[in-house]
Structures are given as structure tokens and as C-alpha cells.
Amino acid sequence: MLKSINLLSRMMLVLALLLISSANALASEPPDTTKEREPYPEKKGFGQALWTIPQFVINVPVDILTGISQVVIDDLYAGHLAAQIAALTGELDRVWGFYPIFGAGGNSGAEFGLAFTSKDVFTVDERFKIKFSLSVNDYQSFKIRYRAPKFLSEKIGITLLGQYTQRPQERYFGSGHLSLRKNETNFNPEHSQLSSSFLWQARSKVVVDFRVGYDAYNIFDGEDPNLVGDIDSIRQIHKLSFSETRSTRLVSVGGTIDHDWRNDKGQPTSGGREIISLFYYASTEDNDNFKYTSVTVDVRQYFHIFRKRTLALRLMAQTTDLVNETSSMPFYLKPSLGGAETLRGYTRLRFVDNDLALISAEYRYPIWKKIDAFVFLDEARVFKSLTDQFKWHDWKYSYGGGLRAWETDNLILSFYAAKSEEETRFRIQFSDSF
């Protein structure tokens, strides 16, 4: 039986490589549409927002039902879900094979797909995954990932990644921390990526990831009929140049150092994690000398307080710099705030600029064997230049709470409700924010 599973996994790997290597950019011509929107409510101060937390908690069940379009569900695997729930009561090996996927998002709508996942195809501790999904709003995603941390030796492994995404109704609000929600537009980004990495276990808790990659970006008119979507109008509304809205092809080289000294990956109560990334990007097109560097520093620290209560802190900064000033960076390549990884109370790409800084805090406390509740506060801001224009005022914030279900070495799932001065968002996901 094991031999047949490994043979199937290898056949799926070969088939997926053939599919990803032959992927072509597809796009349709959407209609040119506009819509006049209602003004947004006046902003509240930070102190005023704190006083609204009790009311926010009481209203969460009602908000979920009345604002269902703001609920995001990331890759709910039907087969995995049963195994993950069962894992809450004891140790359980993962189930491997084909699984249906369900997801949902405010822009993408309901999402359906299929995933194939396996382990130990060639070596021990490896993971192999193929995922394809399609949404009712024509969002598309195809991803193949093979990670073998001990592929060449006990300390040297590889990661191979190929993926394709298209988001016909992606939002863009403009650049800078003063971008306005009333200027909301939408565009259709298409992204194809191929990358390979060498993993080196430098020390027991330090992994170095050296990576080379190729990215193809296309940008088309957005397809949301309720928002401005044609590229010419987007340029005028947000005062963008032609070079800031162009498609591009990039090669990249760089690496990441990951120092992970948490005492427990599923439910850390002490230790920390530091991730430092440096990448160089250059255009492959003859008429485009676009080049830039990207540096990211992500520091996470966990403190045990008492009776399994934990305080989790995160500091993160990202900067991008053009190697020359002859060309502007396309707006969709710039660092952004919003979504599950940063400001959880805002939609994706809500704030965009050259650099960003983020501070997050979570207080976690147990409510059952392997289920914790948590409350959090996120503070963040984008900058034209983090080194030259750093300021402590006008930072955006979001707050909220939720539940985390975990195993010893992994987070199973989490649910949270997040509130910002613009909206309330809900998310169910199978990965951790930090």
C-alpha cells in the first residue's frame, strides 16, 4: 500500500510540473464601470475605540450574520478537518490523499477546489502538495510545493514552488498612510511564479534558505461592476504614472535566515523567532531597467505569565529600494498592510507604500485541552521611507479576539473577529498570524 501511495505521489509531482511549466496568461476584457459611493463615517480616536470593545464583543454574533461578506475562510480541507478535530483529543497521524477545498472571501466569493497532499515521497520529513481552486467571481489559484528538508543530507534540503493566481476584483485605495476608503478601485492582477530554494540547517534552531525565482505579473482592468476598474481611470484617481501600472517580468535572488527557538510551535509559551529576508529583483525585459531590493525583519517573542497564560509580541519592518531612479515601482509590488498577516481589521492592500512597520500583541489563555482564546491589538503604518520619514503618529490600529486550536508542533485552525475604524472582519484560517 505504501509503495502505491509513493508511486501516485511521484506521478502527481511529474504531472504538476508539466502543468505549471505550460501555464499561459489568460485575461478577458471586463466592462468599464463606475459607482458613486456613500461617505464613510468619521474616524474615532484610539481612546474612543477602547471604550467600544465591550460593545464590539457583544455584537460579534450579530455582525457575523449581517456582514457575512466580510467573512474569509482559507482552504477548508474536508478530509483534513476531521483529522484535525480528532487531533484535539490525542495524537493522530495526518491523513494523506485527495481532498476537496472550500473557501470564501468578500471579493472572491465562494471558492471550491481540490488538493492532493502527501509525505515521504522520496525522503523522510518531506511534504508534497498540489492545490487548485476556482471561485464564483473567477478567482483562480494553482499551487504546487515540494519541500524536503533532508533531501541531499541531514542538513541540506530543497524547496520547489510553482504557482499561478488571478484575482479579478482586487482592491486598491492609493499609496500612503492617508489613502481614503472612498477612493476604492479594483484591478485584475495575474501572477505566475517559479522558485527553487536550498535549505541549510546551519544550527539546531537556525535554517538558511537561499532562493532563486522568476515572477511574471500582468495587470488588467478590474471586474467588479460596482467600482472603478479600468486602468486609465485608476491612474487618474490615484495619480499613478504609466510605469506604476505596467506589467513586468522579474528574476530574483536572495535568502532568509530563520532562527526559531520557540519551546512549542503549536502553542509557544516562551522563546521566540527571528526571520530576516533580503532579496534582489531585476526585470528581464530589454526595454525595462527596473531593479529593486527588499529587506524584511520579523521578530516574535513569547512570555509565559501565569497558569498557561501567554503574551505574544511581534515587531516587523519591511523596506524596498530602487537600485536606480529611472523607473517607478509598480504599485502592486509595494509592501502593504491589511489582511491576516498584518492589520487584521482591514482588507488586503488597504495601505500601500515603499516601507512599513508593524507592532502586534496577543494575550492567549486556555479554555480547553488544546483550545485557547486570545485578544489582540495591531498597530502599523506605511512610509515613503522608513529611515528618513519614520513617525510615531498616524498609525493605524485594529483589535479583536478569537480562538486557536493547536497540536504540539502545529496550529490546527484559528478564528478571529477584528475591528478597525473602517469595518469589522472575520476570518477562519489554517495557519497562524504569529
Is 28 contained in some domain? yes
Q: Cβ neighbours of residue 253 under 8 Å, at least 6 residues apart?
A: 211, 212, 213, 279, 280
Around Cβ 284, how many Cβ atoms within 10 Å?
Answer: 13
Please tell me the predicted confidence (pLDDT) of residue 289.
81
Residue 434 pLDDT > 80: no
Question: Is 362 inside any structural domain?
Answer: yes
Q: Where are the alpha helices (DSSP H) in 244-396?
A: none
94 in a structural domain: yes
pLDDT at residue 22, as a whole number? 45
Lowest mean pLDDT among 10-19, 229-238, 308-317: 10-19
Q: What is the pLDDT of residues 102-142, one digit of tens each?
A: 888 878 888 899 989 888 778 888 889 999 999 999 999 99
Mean of pLDDT values over 406-424: 85
Burial of 145 (0-12, 13-18, 19+ CB in 10 A): middle
Range of the domain at 347: 2-429
240 or 65, which is more confident: 240
pLDDT average, residue stretch 185-195: 98
Convert the pLDDT of each residue in 279-312 to its tens digit.
999 999 877 788 999 999 999 999 999 888 999 9
What is the number of residues in the chain? 434
Predicted confidence at residue 60, as pLDDT, reads 52
Exposure of 331 in the CB half-sphere (CA atoms within 13 A): 26
Exposed (0-12), middle (13-18) or buried (19+): which is 41, by Cβ within 10 Å? exposed
Q: What is the mean pLDDT of residues 82-98?
A: 54
User: With pLDDT > 70 as the criterion, what percentage of the chain qualifies?
Assistant: 76
**What per-residue confidence (pLDDT) applies to 429?**
78
- How many CB atoms within 10 Å of residue 26? 10
Instruction: Indicate the number of domains in the chain.
Output: 1
Are 336 and 358 contacting, i.e. CB atoms less than 8 angstroms apart? no
pLDDT tens for 332-364 read 999 999 988 899 999 999 999 999 999 999 999
Helix H or strand E encompassing 283: strand 271-283
User: Is 434 part of a structural domain of the chain?
Assistant: no
Does the pLDDT at position 66 exceed 60?
no
Predicted TM-score of the model (pTM): 0.80
Question: pLDDT for 156-188, tens place per residue?
Answer: 999 999 999 999 999 999 999 999 999 999 999
pLDDT bin (cut points 50, 70, 90) of residue 244 is very high
Q: Does the residue 128 lie in any domain?
A: yes
Indicate which CATH number applies to the domain containing 237. 2.40.160.50
Q: Say how many C-beta atoms besides its own lie within 10 A of residue 214's C-beta.
A: 14
Between CA 171 and CA 184 the distance in angstroms is 7
Burial class (CB in 10 A: 0-12, 13-18, 19+), 18: exposed
Count the neighbouring beta carbons within 10 Å of the beta carbon of residue 65. Answer: 8
Q: Which pLDDT band holds residue 70 (cuts at 50, 70, 90)?
A: low
